[in-house]
């Protein structure tokens, strides 16, 4: 019972530090309801484990400045791995979600699963030597459905070599360090909830529309995952049964009409060139192609979808992440006007619509870091860290 109680107290202390550090020991005690002596012991252990750091608070009064505590940004390093259909990214981050500017590296996605494991292993071992690291573990995001019980990839249309695999467990065996694998939208949720714009918001929706369309819904501070952890595949809602073929095998899914990738396909067809969505958006932005009709159609479909979400979930905020909004400075305002016309007024008035200004890759990277930090804060590995001498 003592171990269970200690583990719960560790989780609660980590939770408040993730939510709003830096905090003093007295503030942590007040927020968690844990006694001050117990908080002091936990904080001392976390500092010794280099998961939490101590610093003097900004102080303008008389006497000694108080000590405050925050999650470590440099002493304890997490490796973040973003798996993409064509390219993978590796970043180094801290327990506070910070990412080292000089650490991002890329490698092409191998066609073979075993080659992927070997490439990740090679890159991680090289990073450990080059940066003199003993990382806490590896957090990974994947663009597919991850069964939360078995950690097996159930579906991953754009990286089929991952289907049926337990990449986290396989890498743990090869590298001997903790791993955590989450669906990319669940990673985005953890990034914003632990480190970002949603730290103080309990009811919100994240929607990304770059390669495809996915959502993460937070209700009363909890991610809605579904029975198997597969919730959030909003982009595969069929809006036109006679529409374009989708990667999931159906026709006319929302993401074939309303994603950045759909815009790229439409612009590619119009210009006779094969363009990625960043290239297509840059071409529109520079005036190299006239795309008013394409953009209008895209935001109409996206507005219909977001209106539906607002009416169903009544969120405080909807964060919309993608490159599309870089194409025209007035596009997001047009998008909001369309949503206002289609959403129940009371629901719309209570909701803020916020654009990421076309940098979803930052959230993806932090999502990979957050996947491991979240696992550490809830699992036995954190207990092991604070008792290691």
**Residue range 284-305, pLDDT digits in tens:** 999 999 999 999 999 999 999 9
Q: 51, exposed or middle or buried, with CB in 10 Å at 0-12, 13-18, 19+? A: buried
pLDDT in tens, 2-61: 656 777 788 788 878 877 778 899 999 999 899 999 999 888 888 887 778 887 765 544
The predicted pLDDT at position 4 comes to 64
pLDDT, averaged across the chain:
87
Residue with tokens 């579904």: 226
The predicted pLDDT at position 60 comes to 46
CA 150 to chain centre: 21
Binning pLDDT at 50, 70 and 90, where does residue 307 land?
very high
Per-residue pLDDT, averaged over 309-330, amounts to 93
pLDDT in tens, 64-91: 667 888 877 665 789 999 998 889 999 9
CA angle 109, 138, 78 (to 5 degrees): 120
Residue with tokens 């290691």: 388
The predicted pLDDT at position 49 comes to 72
pLDDT in tens, 143-177: 889 998 888 999 888 899 999 999 999 999 999 98
- What is the DSSP secondary-structure string of 312-370? HH--SEEEEE-SGGGS-TTHHHHHHHHHHHHS-HHHHHT-EEEE--S-HHHHHHHHHHH
- Counted residue by residue, the chain has a size of 389
385 or 85: which leads in pLDDT: 85
Domains, the chain, in order of start with CATH, read 2-71 (1.10.10.10), 77-189+363-387 (3.30.420.40), 201-359 (3.30.420.40)
Q: How far apart are CA 22 and CA 382, in angstroms?
A: 20
CA distances 32 to 17, 51, 261, 379, Å, are 10, 19, 44, 18
């Amino acid at each position: 019972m003592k171990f269970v109680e200690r583990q719960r107290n560790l989780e609660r202390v980590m939770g408040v530090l993730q939510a709003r550090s830096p905090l003093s020991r007295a503030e942590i005690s007040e927020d968690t309801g844990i006694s001050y002596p117990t908080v002091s012991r936990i904080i001392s252990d976390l500092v010794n484990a280099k998961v939490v750091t101590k610093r003097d608070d900004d102080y303008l009064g008389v006497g000694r400045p108080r000590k405050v505590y925050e999650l470590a940004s440099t002493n304890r390093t997490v490796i973040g791995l973003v798996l993409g259909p064509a390219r993978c990214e590796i970043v180094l981050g801290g327990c506070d979600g910070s990412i080292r500017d000089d650490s991002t590296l890329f490698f092409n996605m191998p066609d073979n699963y075993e080659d992927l494991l070997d490439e990740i292993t090679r890159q991680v071992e090289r990073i450990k030597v080059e940066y003199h690291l003993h990382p806490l573990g590896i957090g990974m995001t994947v663009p597919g459905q991850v069964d939360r019980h078995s950690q097996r990839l159930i579906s991953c249309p754009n990286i089929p070599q991952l289907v049926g695999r337990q990449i986290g467990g396989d890498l743990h065996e090869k590298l001997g360090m903790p791993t955590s694998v989450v669906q990319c939208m669940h990673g985005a949720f953890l990034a914003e909830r632990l480190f970002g714009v949603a730290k103080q918001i309990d009811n919100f929706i994240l929607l990304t529309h770059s390669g495809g369309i996915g959502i993460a819904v937070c209700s009363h501070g909890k991610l809605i995952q579904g029975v198997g952890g597969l919730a959030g595949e909003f982009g595969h809602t069929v809006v036109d049964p006679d529409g374009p073929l989708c990667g999931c095998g159906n026709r006319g899914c929302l993401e074939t009409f309303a994603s950045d990738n759909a815009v790229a396909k439409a612009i590619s067809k119009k210009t006779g060139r094969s363009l990625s969505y960043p290239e297509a958006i840059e071409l529109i932005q520079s005036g190299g192609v006239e795309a008013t009709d394409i953009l209008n159609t895209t935001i109409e479909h996206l507005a219909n979808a977001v209106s539906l979400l607002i009416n169903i979930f009544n969120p405080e905020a909807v964060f919309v992440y993608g490159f599309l909004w870089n194409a025209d400075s007035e596009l997001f305002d047009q998008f909001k006007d369309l949503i206002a016309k289609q959403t129940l007024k009371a629901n719309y008035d209570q909701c803020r619509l916020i654009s990421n200004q076309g940098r979803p890759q930052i959230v993806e990277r932090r999502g990979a870091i957050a996947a491991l930090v979240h696992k550490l804060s809830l699992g036995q590995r954190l207990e092991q860290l604070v008792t290691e001498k």
